Amino acid sequence: MEKYIQRSVVHLLDSAAEVKNDIYEAIYQKERSRVKMLFRQIIDVTEKESKCREVEESLN
């Protein structure tokens, strides 16, 4: 799981650690809808199509 989360946030640069913490918090609290929302937000700010696909694969 760590691998997929890292691949999903690495391109966010300065905010990567914050987003990663948010994802782990949502997972720990078993808030699946929040995890999906966070990944959708990552996709929304991702510029490269190839990176978007990578993030989508991590979500599934």
| Mean predicted lDDT score pLDDT of the chain | 91
Instruction: Give one DSSP letter per residue of 1-57, joined into a string.
Output: -HHHHHHHHGGGGGGHHHHHHHHHHHHHTT-HHHHHHHHHHHHHH---HHHHHHHHH
The whole-model pTM stands at 0.84
Q: What's the pLDDT tens digit per position in 35-55?
A: 999 999 999 999 898 888 888
Question: Which band of pLDDT confidence, cut at 50, 70 and 90, is reported for residue 56?
Answer: confident
